[in-house]
Every structure is written in C-alpha cells, then in structure tokens.
Structure 1
Amino acid sequence: MYKRDKTENLKNNIRYLMRSRGETRISLCNASGLTRTTIYNILEGRVVNVQQSTIRKISDFFGVSYKEIEAIDLEGREVIESTVSLYGNMNPAAVPVIKQRQLVQDMNKRIGELVTICPLTYYFGTASNLIGVRLETDIDGMYDLGDLLIVKKGELNGEGETLVYNKETKRLFVVRENYRESDADLIVGSIIEERFNGL
C-alpha cells in the first residue's frame, strides 16, 4: 500500500509540474533522456515500483528533490507558499521605470540614484538590481508600445529572455539562449516580469 501511495503521489506531482511549468510528455522525455513508454506508464498508473534513477531524472528536470516528488504534494505546497510568505510581511521592491529613449544614458547609473530621479513601480518578489523599461516601440511582435518590462539589470539570462539594446539601430530586441554578443549590443538585463500595456 505504501508503494502504491508513493507511486500515486509521483504521478500526481509529475502531472502538476508539467501543467504548471508548461511542459509536455514529449519535452519531458527529450530533456530527461527517458523513453516515452516509461513516462506514459508512470502517468497511466501501470508501474507500481518506479526505479530511483528514473525518479531522479524526472526530479532533476523539474528542479525538485527526488524525495519530495515521491513524498510531498507539490501542488498543495506551492499554493501555500504563494499565499503565505516564509519571511513574514515582506515589503515590495521599488523599481525605477526608465523610458526606452533614456535607457543608454541611464544604464550606468546606480539603482539608488535612479530611484530618486525616475517614476517608480513595485516588484513583489525576492530580487535586486531591478529596473523597469517602458517600451516606446514594439519588439518583434512580442511586446508592444507602452508595455513595461521588469529587468534584472546587466544580467544575461542563459535560460530565459534577455533584453538587449543595439546602439547602431537604436532598437531593443529580445534574445534567448545561445546568444552571441556583438560590440554594438548593450545587454540591458534578464526579463523577470512583463506588464502589458502599462498594467
């Protein structure tokens, strides 16, 4: 009975992690190196005793402990953590908002100075060295005029999206992994939140 409970918990956690992280069975198989049959058998409840090496590959893919994925209700835990802060009543971070046309001249200023000369927005989360970039032109059909991008200044995001300014074209663009920086490019930083149409 204990094994069956652990397997049921594993199955539910994999389903939740795939749904909440935007993954599919195929993307999980391709990235973890497991066969589709293995994943399908676990998710369909056809396996009672899943090998530890299989569990470890799945948990590594999702960035959770292999013990947690078997024993804890991850969905329930994440719901609680998102509503109750572990650190008590945290204050949001003040984020200076820079207009796109001011970006190059303001990039070298410290956050403490920017906070005193720019309008502010607030970021609810744990982060530092943040700026907001108010777009004054569209970016490749991804973002529109008026959108606000919250960016971790100067950081190149290897896995997510990075905002880059090209000094020659005087335009912003977004890059993902495997980006090669050129001399004309100024890395604004990694995008950690988008607020569409100024919301």
Structure 2
Amino acid sequence: MHKKDRTEKLKNNIKYLIKSRGETRLSLCNASGLTRTTIYNILEGRVVHVQQSTIQKISDFFGVSYTEIETIDFEEKEIIESSASPLGNMNPAAVPIIRESLLVQNLDKRIGELSITHPLTYYFGTACNVIGVLLENDISGISESGDLLIVKKGLSSDNGEKLAYEKTTKKLTVLSHDFCNESFCIIGDVIEERFNGKRQ
C-alpha cells in the first residue's frame, strides 16, 4: 500500500476510533503522551510520513493492532461485526443540537422541550440528559468552529473532560475536571466529539 494511502487510512481510523470509543482528541493526547500538534497534523492530512513510534502509541491507546490501524478500515470492519452482534440492534437516542450562541439561555430547559425546538442528531449509546453543542468559535487547541460536542449535562463524579462556560469571557472551554470557581459554569461531560458537525 502506498505511504499516502496508509496515512489516509490512519487518519480515518483515528477519527473513527475517537468517535466510537467515546474519546476526544484531548484525551488521546493526554493518555498517549503525544502532542496536540502531532495529532492535529495527522487528522488534518498535513503529514505524509507518520513515525512508527507515534503509530504505536496511538494503536496502544485504542487497544488495536499496530499493523491494522494503517491498512484496515475499522469502521467498515466493526459495522460488519456488529451486524451479527446483539448490540447491533440498539436504537440510537435523539439528541437536540444547540448552537453555541443559544446554549446558556437554553440550559435550564428539559431535553423533551429542546428536542421539539432544535434540530436533532443521534447518539449511539446509553443517553439521558444529553445535548449536542454546535461550536461557533474555536476552543483553543481542542475543537474548531463547526465541530459538534455531544455532552451529558450536569455535574458528575468522574474525571472526564467537562464543557464549561467562562462567564468573564463569555466563551466555552474544556476542563479536565470539575473546576469549583464562580467564573465557570459547568455544562457537562463531553462524551463524544464530531468533526465539523458531522451527524450520525
């Protein structure tokens, strides 16, 4: 397989694995020890040759084969496998998509009400109190305008990434833990990140 094709396959697999495993670009960077720049350059197609040590760290993080991540289409493979699985018939949850500029004024509304007044996307997983936040501004080094963050609203006890609203700057940010500070309003846990608002 041509090196460029291998890099394209690697890029597509990383995007799919991030989405399907409930990870984010930030969690991949933090856990694998790779820099954000390295991950972004691969995902944006700016790299033709990816170092073997980098590929090894990425495949180790996702628990997949080092050789397969550059040569096999994981999404296609898992769709075929899941069609024979009992989980293959799980109904997706409808999730209302709220634009970033409308988020704060809609935070107190119930999901049922939001589902009627906003466009919907679908989340494949156990979902309760889940919203989609369509970013209209970049979150520095993490997400870009047009990305869709799937968020479980409210505070939780785990250490996952939190989407938060910074009252002083009136901008969204992602925190790696609950930040007890009056200048931040925690929106909820980021449970999935979709590039450029792609819907399932």
Q: TM-score, length-normalised on structure 1?
A: 0.56
Q: Is the 8 A contact 1:157 1:176 kept in 2?
A: no
Per the TM alignment, residue 85 of structure 1 is displaced from its structure 2 partner at its CA by 4.7
Percent identity, aligned pairs only?
Answer: 53
Give the match for residue 188 of structure 2: 189
Q: Is the 8 A contact 1:156 1:187 kept in 2?
A: no
**Would the alpha carbon gap of residues 117 and 133 (structure 1) be closer, same or farther in structure 2, given more than 3 Å must change?**
same
Give the match for residue 119 of structure 1: 119
Pair 1:172-2:178 in alignment: no
**Would the alpha carbon gap of residues 186 and 194 (structure 1) be closer, same or farther in structure 2, given more than 3 Å must change?**
same
- Distance (Å, rounded) in 2 between the aligned partners of 1:190 and 1:140: 18
Amino acid at match of 2:167: K
**1:96-134 Cα distance to aligned partner (Å, 9 max, x none):** 000001111100000000000001000011221110000
Per the TM alignment, residue 155 of structure 1 is displaced from its structure 2 partner at its CA by 3.0
Higher relative contact order (CA 8 A, sep 6+): 2
**1:18-72 Cα distance to aligned partner (Å, 9 max, x none):** xx99777xxxxxxxxxxxxxxxxxxxxxxxxxxxxxxxxxxxxxxxxxxxxxxxx
**Would the alpha carbon gap of residues 98 and 157 (structure 1) be closer, same or farther in structure 2, given more than 3 Å must change?**
farther
Per the TM alignment, residue 88 of structure 1 is displaced from its structure 2 partner at its CA by 6.3
**Would the alpha carbon gap of residues 141 and 90 (structure 1) be closer, same or farther in structure 2, given more than 3 Å must change?**
same
Per the TM alignment, residue 181 of structure 1 is displaced from its structure 2 partner at its CA by 1.9
Say how many residue pairs are matched: 126
Root-mean-square deviation (CA, aligned residues, Å) is 2.8
SS at match of 1:94: strand
Give the match for residue 197 of structure 2: 198
Give the match for residue 107 of structure 2: 107
Pair 1:96-2:99 in alignment: no
- Distance (Å, rounded) in 2 between the aligned partners of 1:161 and 1:196: 17
- Distance (Å, rounded) in 1 between the aligned partners of 2:122 and 2:89: 15
Amino acid at match of 1:190: D
**Would the alpha carbon gap of residues 88 and 103 (structure 1) be closer, same or farther in structure 2, given more than 3 Å must change?**
same
- Distance (Å, rounded) in 1 between the aligned partners of 2:158 and 2:175: 10
- List aligned pairs for 1:23-42, cutoff 5 A: none
Task: Tell me which structure has the larger Cα radius of gyration.
Answer: 1
- List aligned pairs for 1:1-199, cutoff 5 A: 83=82, 84-86=84-86, 89-156=89-156, 158-177=158-177, 179-199=178-198
